Chains A and B, each alone.
Chain A
Amino acid sequence: MGTEFVQLSLAPLLTGLFAALACALPGNFLILRREALMGDAISHVVMPGIVLAFLITGGITTSAMLIGAGAAAGFAVLMIAFFTRIARIEPGAAMGVTFTTLFAAGVMLLERSDTSGVHLDVEHALYGNLESLVWFAAQGWGSLLEAEALRALPPELMRMSLVYSLIALLIALFWRPLAISTFDEGFAITAGIRVRALGLGLVLVAALAAVAAFDAVGSIIVIAMFICPPAAARLMTNSLLAQVLWSQCFAAFSALAGYVLAGYGPIWLGYPNSVSAAGMIATLSGLILAAAALFGPCRKRAGQTSGAQALA
């Protein structure tokens, strides 16, 4: 657990951790508001935005990615609004049409353009490449205290930790209005809370997390982080604060254990190659949810007995 760990594993481990935490945090409110589909849509839509940004600027700098993804998200919102209001298509169908079409467009663009200069291809877009975030400038744990080594940390890690801090700050700042508008929108409106602005803000925060995490863990795994840790947390408690904290614990555990299992698990079993870290993180978050669904103290609906009513 010495120099090699710090050089090869520390940065990806922390990046994965911050990505998971950053997505799980707004995910709590998305699932409480029955907007889990929005999380699905966001993670499909940021991909074409990033591809466009690359095609226009020729590289993938942070600002280009953010602007591209932001533009794509904005376009998607307009498209959905057009479908629901003008074409009068029902909202679920409108969202499904929008995010699949935009994702298809993104893949088509990606395949037909020359991205050999940058590490951007379809596999990468789907499940990222955490393992590539090496920190060769480090020479051991002591490098954490050396400014020069720190400056050579992979930019993805800096980006992800910054975004997570920002999201945590925003959620903390807007905690009360968010909570009220999530649980009782009518009351929130009468209390003067700007519910529509808040809703939009939540979507933007989720999109920010998705864009920042995209490069490290890809789009599909972002959905796992939006939904699984908060959903598992929801089954553990009735308190919003406790749920959010549980979701952070579950996200952290998924990220840390997932990375370790993916990187070292095969070696422990005698196989030389590691497996996909992002995939393992998503799998673990699903397993945690399964455990919560089987044993969580607050898993049942109000008034539900073990003979569950049919909802299908």
Chain B
Amino acid sequence: MNEVIASLTLQSGYNATLVSLGAAMLGVAAGFCGSFLHVRKRALVADGIAHATLPGISLAFMAMVVLGGDGRNLAGLLAGSAVTAVLGFFAMDALTRRTRLAEDAAIGAVLSSFFGFGVVLLTVIQAMPGGKQAGLQGYLLGSTAGMLQQEAWLIAMAAGLILALSWLLRRPFTLIAFDPGHAEASGFPVRRYDLALLALATAVTLIGLKLVGLILIVALIIIPPVAARFWTDQVEQMAWISAVIGGASAYLGAALSSALPKTPTGPAIVLIAFACLLASLIFAPKRGLVARALRGRV
């Protein structure tokens, strides 16, 4: 219990503090950016992109080892994951635009086949000398264990940048979410901003790989916006509330995961975010269940 309190109050050491704060920044960026994805109804594309990172992580690891470096270098792994994530996005896009398959089928197809290929590569790495996946398993479900200070800094800085860019582009993002037809007819470059939004979502996914893992990072992008929706009607307010919820969930999840044994980071963060969703659903004024019951309108 003492470890838990120490972890939550940032007293478990400099390293653990940095990790918790890095996680908080990640949650803020994910919540903010995720709100725009939510209103655009494209949040699940992020799931496809996230699963598509696995082959890239494995390939980057193998490349770095072959070149004599440390296979676990976070920046290198993220660069590799970015390559296959972008490939995965283009595959989904091509399937939806050039064939008669619907978007949900395209997402599921890319998600599962890229992930499957990533799993094959993981087993190749397992057999490499010194491979034993060297902690790559941590990228599936997230891990705070053995996180380096520069990794926490990298995540926090990148999250800050994503947050700033999302905020700068908030008006175009809102416009393409609510009336893309009219926007396009007026000559507004809808596709360009769509791609920008997806690029930011991809960036959030990438920096979330280490802490939350690729399987569950989509939850940090989906759940806070859904929770925030109960508190407001306005997109910008929703984005900030979502950012707070995301940040708090990530912070608490990372802190608890560091302090308690056998507590995987990704699931911890997701379950806390879900608890926030339940609380919002029940207690939010006007749109929460209690408020509606009191008005006689459940």
Residues of B within 8 A of A279 (CB): 116-120, 122-123
* A220 CB contact (under 8 Å) in B115, B191, B219, B262: B115
- Report yes or no: A300 in contact with B123, Cβ–Cβ below 8 A: no
Mark the stretch among B100-108, B158-166, B240-248 that contacts chain A: B100-108
* B141 CB contact (under 8 Å) in A40, A122, A223: A122
What 0/1 pattern do residues 108 to 139 of B give for CB contact below 8 A with A? 11111111111110111011000000000100
Tally the A-B contacts, defined by beta carbons under 8 Å. Answer: 208
B residues 264-298 with Cβ under 8 Å of A?
264, 266-268, 270-271, 274, 277, 281, 289, 298
- Report yes or no: B219 in contact with A107, Cβ–Cβ below 8 A: no
- Prevailing SS type, chain A contact patch: helix
Known contacts A31-B105, A293-B94; is-contact A123 B100 (Cβ 8 Å): no
What 0/1 pattern do residues 267 to 300 of A give for CB contact below 8 A with B? 0000111111011111101110110010010111
* A293 CB contact (under 8 Å) in B98, B190, B215: B98
Smallest CB gap from A296: residue in B? B99
Could you tell me the distance between the alpha carbons of A224 and B101 in the complex, rounded to whole angstroms? Answer: 15
Residues of B within 8 A of A309 (CB): 97
Q: Is A180 positioned at the interface, with any CB of B under 8 Å from its CB?
A: no
Could you tell me the distance between the alpha carbons of A127 and B268 in the complex, rounded to whole angstroms? Answer: 22
Q: Is B207 positioned at the interface, with any CB of A under 8 Å from its CB?
A: no
Q: Is A101 positioned at the interface, with any CB of B under 8 Å from its CB?
A: yes
Known contacts A108-B267, A111-B263; is-contact A281 B116 (Cβ 8 Å): yes
Residues of B within 8 A of A235 (CB): 99-101
Mark the stretch among B37-45, B64-72, B145-153 that contacts chain A: B37-45
Question: What distance in Å separates the Cβ of B225 from its nearest Cβ neighbour in chain A?
Answer: 8
Residues of B within 8 A of A278 (CB): 116, 119
Find the residue from B108, B127, B222 having the highest chain A CB count within 10 A.
B108
Question: What distance in Å separates the Cβ of A295 from its nearest Cβ neighbour in chain B?
Answer: 11
Residues of A within 8 A of B140 (CB): 122, 126
What 0/1 pattern do residues 34 to 56 of A give for CB contact below 8 A with B? 11110110000000000000000
* B100 CB contact (under 8 Å) in A87, A90, A93, A299: A299
Known contacts A112-B263, A293-B98, A310-B191; is-contact A104 B271 (Cβ 8 Å): yes
- Report yes or no: A107 in contact with B267, Cβ–Cβ below 8 A: yes
- Report yes or no: A93 in contact with B116, Cβ–Cβ below 8 A: no
Smallest CB gap from A275: residue in B? B123
Q: Is B223 positioned at the interface, with any CB of A under 8 Å from its CB?
A: yes
Residues of B within 8 A of A221 (CB): 112, 116
Interface size on A, residues (CB 8 A): 70
Interface size on B, residues (CB 8 A): 67
Question: What distance in Å separates the Cβ of A107 from its nearest Cβ neighbour in chain B?
Answer: 5
Known contacts A227-B112, A278-B119; is-contact A300 B99 (Cβ 8 Å): yes
Q: Is A231 positioned at the interface, with any CB of B under 8 Å from its CB?
A: yes
Q: Is B236 positioned at the interface, with any CB of A under 8 Å from its CB?
A: no
- Report yes or no: A286 in contact with B41, Cβ–Cβ below 8 A: no
Residues of A within 8 A of B108 (CB): 36-37, 39-40, 223, 226-227
Q: Is B33 positioned at the interface, with any CB of A under 8 Å from its CB?
A: no
Question: What distance in Å separates the Cβ of A197 from its nearest Cβ neighbour in chain B?
Answer: 23
Q: Is B216 positioned at the interface, with any CB of A under 8 Å from its CB?
A: yes
What 0/1 pattern do residues 68 to 96 of B give for CB contact below 8 A with A? 00000000000000000000000101111
Q: Is A228 positioned at the interface, with any CB of B under 8 Å from its CB?
A: yes
- Report yes or no: B222 in contact with A286, Cβ–Cβ below 8 A: no
- Report yes or no: B113 in contact with A96, Cβ–Cβ below 8 A: no
17 contacts between A and B (CB under 8 A): A34-B102, A36-B107, A39-B108, A93-B43, A93-B226, A100-B223, A100-B270, A101-B271, A104-B267, A104-B271, A262-B120, A276-B120, A276-B123, A286-B114, A301-B100, A308-B97, A312-B93
Q: Closest 4 A-B residue pairs measured CB to CB?
A: A286-B113, A282-B116, A279-B119, A224-B112
| Chain B interface residues (CB < 8 Å from chain A) | 38, 41, 43-44, 47, 51, 91, 93-105, 107-120, 122-124, 126-127, 137, 140-141, 190-191, 194-195, 215-216, 218-219, 222-223, 226, 229, 262-264, 266-268, 270-271, 274, 277, 281, 289, 298
